[in-house]
């Protein structure tokens, strides 16, 4: 009943606090009756895939839970941008991201002895609001267009659901484009420094971090390519992305502590180039390679660690089972 429990715990998380136990007990009873009726029809226990198919018919846990909620707030601008099913999750994710950002920035500023002011907060906070809102608008669109698809399967269920091909393919394309951009940077420095390419050049720190970032991007491509061919290897995505995001967070944390561009000595107006370098470093240090990037990767690592847990539990369970079988066999012999 691991799958059913996973489904119910996902529903429970989104239910009104006071009614949780009661609603889940009732849902459990209903779903158990249905699973048993199906097993009786087939004359054998249901496989994981069959259990999953039945739960899938019942709908996304988040959507099921929201039907019990008296709160139907949504984000609308003439038309619905984020529906009531996703709105509480949107507020939670946005709040969490903003809280982490607002807590981490002063710490970073103190570590590097930079006086605390409002300015360093503006871009990361605005970026968080824009990005999280955009992601949820997109999720809402997907939910409306494909109501049968689960937006956010709980970890226990995700461990048995084969990956959707379109998801791996679109990720593969996005990751390949990003990798090509990264590969092109040493040859076309304007991709980073923009129109100031004649006066500025990449700082030496790029030599140290270029290859590790490239390897992480390659690992991302590899995972997505394998997932296209083997969508049933459900352990691959969370475990590999846990490692990629974790290492990526560390790399990006240290990468942005150095100046990213320096003055090109061949620049005609060195004083102007110095000024440009300062503003480019500030822009990149708080924008393109700002703290949001390593925070995002660190949150991603935690997220994928959570999604890796059911696989780890299953692995340990299988090992224990194997050891027990060997002991039993030794006892017989």
Partner 1 sequence: MANGTTGSPEILENLKLELRRGCLIVAVLAQLRTEQYGYTLRKALADDGLAIDEGTLYPLLRRLETQGLLVSQWREEDKRNKRFYRLSPVGEQILNHLLNEWQSINTSLNRMLQEV
User: Is 26 a binder of partner 1 (CB under 8 A)?
Assistant: yes
> How far is 13 from 61, CA to CA, in rounded Å?
9
Q: How far is the CB of 221 from partner 1 (least distance, A)?
A: 39
Q: How far is the CB of 33 from partner 1 (least distance, A)?
A: 4
A 10 A CB-CB count for 249 gives: 19
Choice between 36 and 328, CB closer to partner 1 = 36
Choice between 144 and 318, CB closer to partner 1 = 144
**Residues within window 53-92 making contact with partner 1, judged by CB under 8 A:** 57-59, 63-64, 67-68
User: Is 30 a binder of partner 1 (CB under 8 A)?
Assistant: yes
Q: Give the number of residues in contact with partner 1, rule: CB under 8 A.
A: 18
Choice between 56 and 282, CB closer to partner 1 = 56
Identify how many contiguous H helices and E strands the chain contains and give both numbers: 13, 4
Choice between 57 and 265, CB closer to partner 1 = 57
In angstroms, the Cα distances linking 45 to 11, 27, 35, 55, 152 are 24, 20, 9, 16, 27
State how beta strands 261-263 and 80-82 pair. Answer: unpaired
Beta carbons within 8 Å of 22's beta carbon, 6+ residues apart? none
Choice between 63 and 105, CB closer to partner 1 = 63
> How far is 249 from 272, CA to CA, in rounded Å?
34
User: Is 25 a binder of partner 1 (CB under 8 A)?
Assistant: yes
* Phi, psi of 269, rounded to the nearest 5 degrees: -110, 95
Residues that bind partner 1 (CB under 8 A): 19, 23, 25-27, 29-34, 57-59, 63-64, 67-68
């Amino acid at each position: 009943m691991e799958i059913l429990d996973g489904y119910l715990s996902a529903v429970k998380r989104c239910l009104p606090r006071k009614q949780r136990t009661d609603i889940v007990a009732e849902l459990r009873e209903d779903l158990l009756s249905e699973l048993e009726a199906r097993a009786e029809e087939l004359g054998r226990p249901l496989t994981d895939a069959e259990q999953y198919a039945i739960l899938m018919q019942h709908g996304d846990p988040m959507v099921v839970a929201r039907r019990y909620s008296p709160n139907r707030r949504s984000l609308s601008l003439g038309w619905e941008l984020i529906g009531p099913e996703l709105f509480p999750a949107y507020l939670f994710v946005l709040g969490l991201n903003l809280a982490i950002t607002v807590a981490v920035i002063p710490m970073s500023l103190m570590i590097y002895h930079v006086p605390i002011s409002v300015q360093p907060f503006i871009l990361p906070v605005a970026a968080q609001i824009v990005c999280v809102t955009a992601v949820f608008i997109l999720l809402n669109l997907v939910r409306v267009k494909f109501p049968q698809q689960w937006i956010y399967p709980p970890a226990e269920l995700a461990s048995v659901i084969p990956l959707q091909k379109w998801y791996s393919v679109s990720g593969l394309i996005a990751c390949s484009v990003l990798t090509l951009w990264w590969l092109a940077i040493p040859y076309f420095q304007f991709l980073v420094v923009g129109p100031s390419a004649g006066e500025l050049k990449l700082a030496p720190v790029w030599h140290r971090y270029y290859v590790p970032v490239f390897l992480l991007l390659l690992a991302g491509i590899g995972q997505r390519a394998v997932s296209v061919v083997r969508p049933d290897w459900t352990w691959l995505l969370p475990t590999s992305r846990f490692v990629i995001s974790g290492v990526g967070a560390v790399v990006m944390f240290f990468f942005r502590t150095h100046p990213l561009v320096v003055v090109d000595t061949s620049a005609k107006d060195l004083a102007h180039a110095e000024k440009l370098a300062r503003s480019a470093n500030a822009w990149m240090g708080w924008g393109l390679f700002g703290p949001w990037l390593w925070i995002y990767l660190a949150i991603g690592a935690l997220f994928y660690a959570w999604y890796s847990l059911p696989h780890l539990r299953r692995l340990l369970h299988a090992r224990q089972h194997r050891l027990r079988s060997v002991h039993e066999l030794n006892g017989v012999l």
